[in-house]
Amino acid sequence: MNTKIKLSFDKLKNALDSLEVMLNKPLDKDRVVIDATIHRFKFTFEQNACAILLPSGAG
């Protein structure tokens, strides 16, 4: 597997793991942290989806 694509998948897995941990917390606790984690996941997903879908670096 291309190193850049593997790195992107690793970053996505880490982001997904963090998101899962935060989504399993009660919503009334750590609301700001939960919102920040969701935002970070969205950002990570968008950035790495481009690397996976366009591995030549286009886009």
Number of structural domains found in the chain:
1
Show the domain range for 40: 3-53
End-to-end Cα spacing for the chain: 20
Q: Does any domain span residue 58?
A: no
- Give the span between the Cα atoms of 27 and 37, in whole angstroms: 13
pLDDT digits (tens, 9 = 90+) for 5-17: 788 788 888 878 8
Confidence of residue 2 (pLDDT cuts 50, 70, 90): confident
* Burial class of residue 41, CB neighbours in 10 A (0-12, 13-18, 19+): buried
**Which pTM was predicted?**
0.58
Residue type, 8: S
